[in-house]
Structure 1
């Protein structure tokens, strides 16, 4: 029996590939700080669990394939707070943002078609693309520019007759960049001129720091018919296990076709849709308090990184990630070494090697992606482990 080349050619998760080494360290009694994954440690709101307890249907049946009306209305009302106006009928509920992207790729692309992404990009984009027979085509952004988009030409020169969309996350996973209105205008101009889709992944929309005013590309009217917006509750409300996401679009023909895939997977969890509806009713003050905690952590990690010799970094403007260049030849080897051969006071740290966030692995070979979803105290401990680990590692490698 054989296994498809499509799956064989799909890379192991850049975020989870070192998990076996972390598990071995834990089995030895070593504490591992997980800075490899965007798993919030902030408590899930009590309203979620209260809604769970209050769910009183006698039969746990299928729901509408497009999502329950209450949740679609909830998303519609929530987006209006950000001046993003979609009616409930223009929204489809999905199993997290990942299913949303899968359904979008399958709907807008035939096998061999291309989607443009700024590089580095969220590694799961590539996994989803491979599973659909779609090719991601990157345009490069650089750490010295804070991973901001520099010009329109870098995008135009890679567009071909097979290009179907531009995909990006804003704020970005893995870089934490928040795209300016001028950068969004570049994306909108390209999409409008070339008549391709814009897939805007706005999962981290509310996590924007330094009093930066967040703008969705929805604010650019001419591109609204091209726009497919993806959102999720996972990070905003610390409900990654709930798996509630959504797709919104003004393009009725597109949404009619995506609905076919929603119908094929029948429905989303009845209970989770009910609890998600209650989460969307929480006041914005809750989300602001969450944002403040992550901003404090962002400030802390940037301060600690600035004290480590040879480390090259920048100040991310949103989400809870950043890409860091290390004074090593191979960051993946170093990350493995931290888990296998190094500990400080019986503690070590796990990072995600950044090469998995690039199409060209060489570009990220000396970089790591850091997720600062842990407390300031644990960030301090983790950065001290990184600092001392680099000293020892580089003394060994001399």
Structure 2
């Protein structure tokens, strides 16, 4: 039988989705599963987007341009201007979600064997996209004790060698919820400029910063404009994960034109998704404010309730809608598996993402889970009761 590729063997299973078959099996047994594992918002998609889909008057669902419809890109220019990001429609490439933007950025910027430096824990799919490009992720660990603040810049510099091509950050961060300050971003800028690196900046959670820290984009950094690759998506801010619309922004024309070759090879981004995403720009200030306040309220409820469970600790995230929690177990992968396969309380259980999958360094995150606060507080309260009961019943809980 033919062999599987080395790339396929190296590709990690998603810590967010790998336990889904156990969740499905639990549901088949009549168990209610509280999904804390995935950043799938439960808030309503803007009515303007849904109406745009319902009111479509087209005889043919055609290919769109490979870089996306110009009308949408021009409207995105106005959206970014509201955050003091100066960009033109010709510097925006519409992609099939933020995931495709990251993948194409890596494919266009990195040769096989090239390295990028990433603070860990980090969004697990970055590792998968690097493997797809034949690149290597080098990590600088951040710690729960500091709230996952940016590690000392000297730790980044220790990793830089002749194969280093870039630094990747997520701000606000998934999975930690940390928000990088202007001062931290300027330290990264100095490193990017000194060593002539790319700066890949995933900023899909910019609307969700709860601590009053002003949003500071990589696009605000002076002197490295052609080094910056901004990654964005509508999935989270508009509860539109399923329409698969994101974008890649760069002022580097050679990089733009290279990314376009990959875009042309895949033909076009989703037609209906662009129509919905464009209409979402009319969602209005009230929609965004209500969404922001709901997630902030959920965060406050979750952290207080979570830290009241014996042996559990989570720092208070400053943005996005995730937190990492330390549990009184030695192996969170085994615990999360057990919750779905062997445990229920009042015919309920919880589905969490083991945090080890968000680290590259072996051994880190083994007693941690990522929790997405995408349930309302009533549901979250029940889920955390189930989590507390599970920790009481688990044979390997630390006393």
Cα offset, 1:182, TM superposition: 1.1
- Describe the SS at the equivalent of 1:225: helix
Indicate conservation of the 8 Å contact 2:35/2:351, yes or no.
yes
- Cα distance in 2, alignment partners of residues 266 and 20 from structure 1: 33
The corresponding residue for 2:280 is: 279
- Cα distance in 2, alignment partners of residues 134 and 269 from structure 1: 28
- Cα distance in 2, alignment partners of residues 354 and 361 from structure 1: 12
The corresponding residue for 1:20 is: 21
Q: Deviations over 1:298-321 (max 9, x none)?
A: 000001012111112100000011
What pairs with 1:206-225 in structure 2 (closer than 5 Å)?
206-225=207-226
- Cα distance in 2, alignment partners of residues 154 and 257 from structure 1: 31
Q: Deviations over 1:5-45 (max 9, x none)?
A: 10111111110111111111111100000000000000111
Indicate conservation of the 8 Å contact 1:74/1:281, yes or no.
no
Indicate conservation of the 8 Å contact 1:151/1:186, yes or no.
no
Cα offset, 1:394, TM superposition: 4.6
The corresponding residue for 2:204 is: 203
Q: Deviations over 1:130-185 (max 9, x none)?
A: 11111111011000000001321011111111111111111111110011111111
Q: Deviations over 1:36-75 (max 9, x none)?
A: 0000000111111210122212222111111100110121
- Cα distance in 2, alignment partners of residues 316 and 270 from structure 1: 35
Residue 90 (structure 1) aligned with residue 91 (structure 2) = yes
- Describe the SS at the equivalent of 1:363: coil
The corresponding residue for 1:4 is: 5
- Describe the SS at the equivalent of 2:138: strand
The corresponding residue for 1:143 is: 144
Indicate conservation of the 8 Å contact 1:352/1:368, yes or no.
yes
Indicate conservation of the 8 Å contact 2:179/2:319, yes or no.
yes
The corresponding residue for 1:188 is: 189
- Cα distance in 1, alignment partners of residues 271 and 387 from structure 2: 44
Cα offset, 1:288, TM superposition: 1.8
Indicate conservation of the 8 Å contact 2:32/2:347, yes or no.
yes
What pairs with 1:69-84 in structure 2 (closer than 5 Å)?
69-84=70-85
Q: Deviations over 1:249-277 (max 9, x none)?
A: 11111101111111111111222212211
The corresponding residue for 2:155 is: 154
- Cα distance in 2, alignment partners of residues 102 and 217 from structure 1: 19
Indicate conservation of the 8 Å contact 1:328/1:394, yes or no.
no
Indicate conservation of the 8 Å contact 2:328/2:397, yes or no.
no
Cα offset, 1:322, TM superposition: 0.8
User: How many residue pairs end up in the alignment?
Assistant: 398
- Cα distance in 2, alignment partners of residues 311 and 276 from structure 1: 39
The corresponding residue for 1:108 is: 109
- Cα distance in 2, alignment partners of residues 54 and 324 from structure 1: 44
What pairs with 1:1-398 in structure 2 (closer than 5 Å)?
1-394=2-395
Cα offset, 1:212, TM superposition: 2.5
Indicate conservation of the 8 Å contact 2:324/2:371, yes or no.
yes
- Cα distance in 2, alignment partners of residues 220 and 34 from structure 1: 38
- Describe the SS at the equivalent of 1:8: helix
- Cα distance in 1, alignment partners of residues 367 and 142 from structure 2: 16
Indicate conservation of the 8 Å contact 1:168/1:200, yes or no.
yes
Unaligned runs of 5+ in 1: none
Q: 1:203/1:397 Cα in 2 relative to 1: closer, same or farther (>3 Å)?
A: closer
Indicate conservation of the 8 Å contact 1:198/1:226, yes or no.
yes
- Cα distance in 2, alignment partners of residues 360 and 366 from structure 1: 14
- Describe the SS at the equivalent of 1:362: coil
- Cα distance in 1, alignment partners of residues 190 and 170 from structure 2: 18
- Cα distance in 1, alignment partners of residues 279 and 371 from structure 2: 31
Indicate conservation of the 8 Å contact 1:97/1:230, yes or no.
yes
Cα offset, 1:397, TM superposition: 7.7
- Cα distance in 1, alignment partners of residues 261 and 318 from structure 2: 38
- Cα distance in 1, alignment partners of residues 275 and 386 from structure 2: 43
